[in-house]
Amino acid sequence: MSAGMPIDRSSQNLVPHPRRTLYSDLTGWRAYQTFFPEAMRSTPGSGPTEEWWSWNGLEVHLDRLAVPEARLKVIVVHGAGSYGRMLAQVAVIARRHGYETVSPDLPGYGLTQVPRGRFVYPLWVDCISALIDAELARDGRPVVLFGGSLGGLLAYQAAARSRRVVGLVATTLADLREPAVRQGFARTPLLGRAGLWLLQKLHRLTDGLPLPMRYMSKMDRISNIPELSRLCSRDRMGGGNWVPARFLRTLVETPPDIEPEDFRICPVLLTHPGVDRMTEISLSRRFFDRLAAPKRMVVLEGASHLTTEHPGIDQMEEAVVDFVAGLASAGSSRQNGTRAQ
């Protein structure tokens, strides 16, 4: 696939283009910034550096907020309603506290293109797992994963596959293999039961069908601020994207490499929004309670699924910064112990 071929969002086909599109060329992502607290906004002057990572025949767009002296690096993992630049506020918070971030656009979202036939959920797990390896090879700094929304489960699955991360933060953790979770994920209970069942049973006929995510999931509930939910639902780079049915089918079928009862790879922090109308707390708690790893759960007061509200977003910042600082201190202690020997 040519690196200079952006997606035609009306037809979901690849079309030629003389050069790669960058977020610096676009204005749509800036509309999100007004919903974030001012100290967390990304602007053209203070935003990330854009990179392209050649992986598995794809050109993956990366946003990087570099902090060369940082002891840890955070990979920010988006879900099916967003993309790397849309979660720039997480990167801004991390840099303010001295941590570097890398935020990929996963294949088929944002600026990362993928042929429709390759657009499956396991590709996302492979992508994050490979990015962990690439970032460790780049400078050797320990990696923490931060997963927002569906990105929380994806970050867990990538951590289970890689086994090379030192910490995992998620805003939701919901196992879509469970019928109750599928019904909670889908826009309507009937769609969660019958619709996804049909996609599985008739996959030879349906896998190639393009489906609008905003009608398949509760994209209208991604925020408790109606204007922000509408913005997400209409953004063809994120929540307004169309995906092949095989992506949804493989999303609900893909098991993790390690079940939560056996997961001891790294500590886990779950920062679940307290007023989440898109993913109920009970659905994340079911998975969280099964985890064998050291874990902590923080409920963000007054926060919706895409957390922008006070005091929830401040509580998230405090919890994540404390968690990552603890990982950094533990890493320094291990290094000092090794030197002493």
Mean per-residue pLDDT pooled into runs of 10, the chain (341 residues): 34 41 92 92 83 96 95 96 92 93 98 96 98 98 97 98 98 91 81 79 90 92 97 96 95 96 98 96 96 98 96 97 94 53 44
Nearest Cα neighbor of 312 from 228, 184, 188, 224 is 224
Confidence at residue 42, expressed as pLDDT on a 0 to 100 scale:
86
- Which residues have a Cβ under 8 Å from the Cβ of 5 and sit 6 or more positions away? 14, 15, 16, 17, 113
In degrees and rounded to multiples of 5, residue 99 shows phi and psi of: -120, 140
Per-residue tokens: 157 = 């699955």
Residue type, 127: C
Is the pTM higher than 0.85?
A: yes
Q: Pull the structure tokens for residue 179.
A: 């019928």
- Domains located in the chain, CATH noted: 21-340 (3.40.50.1820)
Separation of alpha carbons 76 and 63, rounded Å: 10
Q: What is the DSSP letter of 217?
A: B
**Residue 299 phi, psi dihedral angles, 5° rounding:** -95, 125
Dist CA 61 CA 230 (whole Å): 25
Q: Which two tokens stand for residue 269?
A: 């922090």
Burial code (b: 16+ CB inside 10 Å, e: under 16) for 171-181 equals: bbbbbbeeeeb
Report the pLDDT value the prediction gives residue 45, as an integer from 0 to 100.
72
pLDDT value of position 333: 55
